């Protein structure tokens, strides 16, 4: 989508971090922005900031874990701006823990926000983007954790691998029409994600205040400025770039994973069980 001037974007989780970075970059490029976030006060501040610098922005409190909430946000976007061209499925939460040890409630919470949230955004917004025929773009926020199985984060990695899978499928399905699809795979970015449990609803165990002993805050603080990610996402939309990586020094993780996977083929080429069997192919 080369020409973004006057186009409308909806950003989930746009009150903070990378979502806010996207909202700022889109506004500066002349786009209209609707933010959907679960946190009302930071969202109100974000919208006020965007409008103060001459933007055309609005917000609607949205819980991406609930399809009806995202559908209501889509209807509000059409009511406010008439059309929508870009959906950024960006809201997400961070949860640590090994797959076999993480609590089931944390598993459900991270799946509901990071995976179902993306699905809800696609279901509610993509039909509205494709129906006007002007073209548009989907940006799904995954992570480097969707490209490589980082230790100690099984449930989180599961959601991000799923988001990469959904995005790659959509890239193939929309390769011949005017809907661009990108998957954002950030490395470490200095956002509020270390404090995600502030938003954990009662049905997942309730909110948790940040733990002072938690070292992730220090690590995150050294991360990339989320406003840089906002500009990167804008550039990727304009150039229809499918994979958006924020940290070129992490290329080795993809190379390492690909090498491990290909070693599986080397093994299959020589294993006894497949000897003499004609491959079916795809
Ligand atoms: N920060 C990083 O290092 C990093 C790295 C890779 C991927 N990511 C991903 O980036 C995305 C954005 O996170 P961030 O790092 O900017 O964190 P952030 O906490 O600063 O922003 C996330 C936003 O999502 C909102 N949110 C949380 N639950 C929600 C819900 N149920 N419905 C609607 N909004 C909700 C929060 O209120 C917040 O405004 C997430 O998907 C995250 O997994 C972050």
For residue 132, report the distance from its CA to the centre of ligand 1, in Å.
29
Q: Please give the distance, rounded to the nearest whole angstrom, from the Cα atom of residue 17 to the centre of ligand 1.
A: 7
Which residue's CA lies nearest to atom 1 of ligand 1?
A: 189
CA of 140 relative to ligand 1 center, distance in Å: 12
Q: Where are the beta strands (DSSP E) in the chain?
A: 8-12, 32-37, 56-61, 86-89, 136-141, 179-185, 243-245
Tokens of 231: 């500009």
Name all domains of the chain by residue range, CATH numbers in brackets.
8-250 (3.40.50.720)
pLDDT in tens, the chain (282 residues): 999 999 999 999 999 999 999 999 999 999 999 999 999 999 999 999 999 999 999 999 999 999 999 999 999 999 999 999 999 999 999 999 999 999 999 999 999 999 999 999 999 999 999 999 999 999 999 999 999 999 999 999 999 999 999 999 999 999 999 999 999 999 999 999 999 988 899 999 999 877 666 667 888 999 999 999 999 999 999 999 999 999 999 999 999 999 999 999 999 999 999 999 999 999
Alpha-carbon distance 218 to 232, whole Å? Answer: 24
- Assess contact for 249 and 194: CB atoms under 8 A: no
Mutate which of 10, 18, 185, 208 to test ligand 1's pocket (most atoms within 8 Å of Cβ)?
Answer: 18
Using the CB atoms, write b or e for 105-135: b if 16+ within 10 Å.
ebbbbbbbbbbbbbbbbbebbbebbeeeeeb
Cα 202 to Cα 46, 197, 205, 208, distances in angstroms: 26, 11, 5, 10
**Which residue's CA is the closest to the ligand 1 atom numbered 24?**
13
Which residues line ligand 1 at a C-beta cut-off of 6 Å? 12-13, 15-19, 37-39, 62-65, 90-93, 113-114, 141, 143, 186, 188-189, 191-193, 196, 199, 220, 223, 226
Residue 21 CA, closest ligand 1 atom number = 16
Annotated catalytic residue: which of 148, 156, 243, 252?
156
Residue 212's Cβ-count burial label (10 Å; 0-12, 13-18, 19+) is exposed
């Amino acid at each position: 989508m080369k020409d973004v001037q006057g186009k409308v974007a909806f950003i989930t989780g746009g009150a903070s971090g990378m979502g806010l970075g996207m909202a700022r970059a889109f506004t500066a490029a002349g786009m209209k922005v609707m933010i959907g976030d679960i946190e009302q006060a930071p969202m109100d501040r974000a919208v006020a900031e965007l409008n103060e610098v001459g933007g055309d922005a609005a917000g609607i409190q949205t819980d991406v874990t609930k399809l009806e909430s995202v559908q209501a946000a889509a209807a509000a976007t059409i009511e406010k701006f008439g059309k929508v061209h870009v959906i950024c499925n960006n809201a997400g939460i961070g949860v640590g823990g090994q797959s076999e040890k993480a609590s089931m409630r944390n598993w459900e919470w991270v799946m509901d926000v990071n995976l179902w949230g993306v699905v809800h955004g696609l279901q509610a917004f993509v039909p509205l983007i494709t129906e006007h025929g002007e073209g548009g773009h989907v940006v799904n926020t995954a992570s480097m954790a969707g490209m490589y199985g980082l230790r100690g984060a099984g449930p989180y990695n599961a959601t991000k691998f799923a988001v990469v899978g959904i995005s790659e499928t959509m890239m193939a399905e929309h390769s011949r029409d005017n809907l661009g699809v990108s998957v954002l795979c950030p490395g470490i970015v200095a956002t509020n994600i270390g404090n995600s449990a502030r938003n954990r609803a009662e049905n997942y165990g309730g909110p948790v205040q940040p733990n002072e002993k938690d070292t992730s805050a220090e690590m995150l603080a050294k991360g990339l400025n989320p406003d840089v990610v906002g500009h990167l996402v804008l550039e990727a939309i304009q150039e229809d770039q499918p994979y958006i990586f924020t940290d070129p020094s992490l290329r080795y993780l993809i190379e390492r994973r690909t090498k491990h996977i290909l070693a599986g083929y080397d093994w299959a080429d020589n294993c006894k069980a497949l000897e003499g069997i004609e491959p079916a192919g795809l």
